[in-house]
Each structure stands twice: as structure tokens, then as C-alpha cells.
């Protein structure tokens, strides 16, 4: 489904003359790859048991990378919410519902961030929050 949508996008005359190509093929791919690596690292370290993760490993390995990647993602989402989506909506009113849904998606990531960063939660819950964050973000980026 994503590859078919991307193939359609690539045929659009404005795809390469606007920021669309850069966002879809560079920026979104970087976010997808970065957060996928975190989820993969967690799953590799934990095997089938997230409870087996060492909190010190999680704090040293996952949290700094998650924080840096998230900082970049938040800047990207702020640009979309404050500039890109409103501009698209004004120019193409039929996109209103889609733009609103994408903005709501951005907000739905925040509770997972809070859990991942908070050492008061057990390691299984924190690790699962990072994995869920990636899964939700991946779906969001494919729709965006």
C-alpha cells in the first residue's frame, strides 16, 4: 500500500518541485530508520522478555538516542502543524480532515514519550512505549 502510494506521488508534477519529495523520501525515511533502530535494539537486547532489560543499559543506550531523534521529530512536527498543514489545507480544502488527523497523530505520541522517559515506570513498560512509539510513527509517516 505504501509503495503504491509512493509510486503515485512520484508521478505528480509537483512532487519534485516542492518540499514533498524531500519530506517523504529523506526526512520521513530518516525518522522511520532512526526509531526502527531503537525498537530493534530493544528487541535484540531483550529477546522475548522486555522485563529482562537492564535499566542501566536502557538509560545509557536507548534514552539518549530516543531524546535526540525525538528532538528532531518535534521540530519537524511543529513545522507541519504550524506551517505546512495549514498551507495545504488553505490551498486544498478537501484535505482538511486528513490534515487534522495527522495533527492529532502528533499529539498521540506524547504519552508514549512520557512513559519512555520516566524511570518511575518499570523497564518493560518503558521499552514497550518506545516500540509502540515507533510502530505508531511508522504508520503515521506512511499515511502522511
Q: What is the 3-state secondary structure (H, E, C) of the chain?
A: CHHHHHHHHHHCCCCCCCCHHHHHHHHHHHHHHHHHHHHHHHHHHHCCCHHHCCHHHHHHHHHHHHHHHHHHHHHHHHHHHHHHHHHHHHHCHHHHHHHHHHHHHHHHCHHHHHHHHCCCCCHHHHHHHHHHHHHHHHHHHHHC
Q: Is the pLDDT of residue 100 over 80?
A: yes
What pLDDT, in 10s, does the model give residues 63-86? 999 999 999 999 999 999 999 899
Q: Is the pLDDT of residue 2 over 80?
A: no
**Cell triple for 44:** 535484540
pLDDT band at 3 (very low <50, low <70, confident <90, very high): confident
Between these two residues, 109 and 24, which has the higher pLDDT value?
109
Calculate what percentage of the chain has a pLDDT beyond 70. 100
Which pLDDT score, from 0 to 100, does residue 42 have? 98
Which pLDDT score, from 0 to 100, does residue 25 have? 79
Which pLDDT score, from 0 to 100, does residue 56 have? 97
Q: Residue 45's Cα: distance from chain center in Å?
A: 22
Q: Is the pLDDT of residue 11 over 90?
A: no
Reported pTM: 0.88
Which pLDDT score, from 0 to 100, does residue 16 have? 79
Contact indicator for 53, 124 with CB cutoff of 8 Å: yes
Which pLDDT score, from 0 to 100, does residue 28 have? 87
Amino acid at each position: 500500500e505504501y509503495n503504491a502510494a509512493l509510486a503515485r506521488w512520484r508521478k505528480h508534477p509537483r512532487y519534485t518541485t516542492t518540499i514533498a519529495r524531500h519530506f517523504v523520501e529523506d526526512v520521513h525515511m530518516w525518522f522511520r530508520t532512526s526509531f526502527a533502530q531503537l525498537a530493534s535494539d530493544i528487541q535484540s537486547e531483550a529477546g522475548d522478555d522486555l522485563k529482562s532489560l537492564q535499566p542501566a543499559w536502557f538509560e545509557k543506550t536507548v534514552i539518549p538516542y530516543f531524546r535526540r531523534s525525538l528532538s528532531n521529530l518535534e521540530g519537524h512536527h511543529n513545522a507541519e502543524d504550524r506551517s505546512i498543514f495549514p498551507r495545504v489545507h488553505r490551498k486544498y480544502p478537501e484535505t482538511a480532515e486528513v490534515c487534522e488527523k495527522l495533527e492529532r497523530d502528533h499529539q498521540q505520541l506524547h504519552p508514549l514519550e512520557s512513559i519512555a522517559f520516566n524511570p518511575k515506570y518499570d523497564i518493560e513498560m518503558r521499552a514497550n512505549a518506545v516500540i509502540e512509539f515507533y510502530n505508531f510513527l511508522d504508520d503515521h509517516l506512511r499515511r502522511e
